[in-house]
């Protein structure tokens, strides 16, 4: 297992009071884990014509830490097209290398990603960069 603790990866659940505090302070939560039904929050935003995006909640992860880690480090835990999940990221990265030194460096770094079960992260980053390029999105 890697050096991250469960508390670093699992976000705290927000309460109804937390959501209303966001509303009063003008903070717009983008993604929240809560057992609270945000209908009242969304309704108040609409009534008072606040420029808030309605909250869409998702159920907080209820499994064990090991199950969470397995999901987070598998292709299933990433929202990306199947072609990226299926890609051989190691072969792709080695194809980009032009020298033996680059091949050696990529091999070392890939081994570190494999030890941490993070190859899906590399696949997702490839998907994200391709998507930004295809949509002429500039990033720095």
Instruction: Give the residue extent of every domain in the chain.
Output: 1-72, 79-140
Task: Note the pLDDT tens digit of each residue in 37-87.
Answer: 777 777 877 777 776 666 665 566 677 777 877 777 787 778 888 999 999
| pTM of the model as a whole | 0.54
| DSSP letter string, 62-119 | -S-HHHHHHHHTSGGGS-S-HHHHHS-HHHHHHHH--SHHHHHHHHHHHHHHHHTT-H
């Amino acid at each position: 297992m890697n050096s991250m603790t469960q508390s670093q990866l699992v976000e705290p659940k927000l309460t109804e009071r937390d959501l209303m505090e966001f509303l009063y302070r003008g903070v717009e939560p983008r993604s929240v884990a809560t057992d609270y039904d945000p209908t009242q929050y969304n309704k108040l935003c609409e009534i008072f014509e606040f420029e808030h995006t309605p909250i869409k909640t998702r159920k907080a992860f209820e499994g064990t830490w090991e199950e969470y880690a397995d999901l987070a480090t598998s292709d299933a835990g990433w929202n990306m097209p199947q072609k990226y999940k299926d890609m051989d990221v190691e072969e792709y990265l080695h194809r980009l290398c032009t020298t033996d030194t680059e091949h050696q460096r990529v091999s070392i770094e890939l081994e570190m990603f494999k030890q941490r079960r993070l190859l899906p992260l590399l696949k997702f980053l490839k998907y994200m960069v391709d998507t930004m390029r295809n949509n002429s999105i500039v990033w720095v």
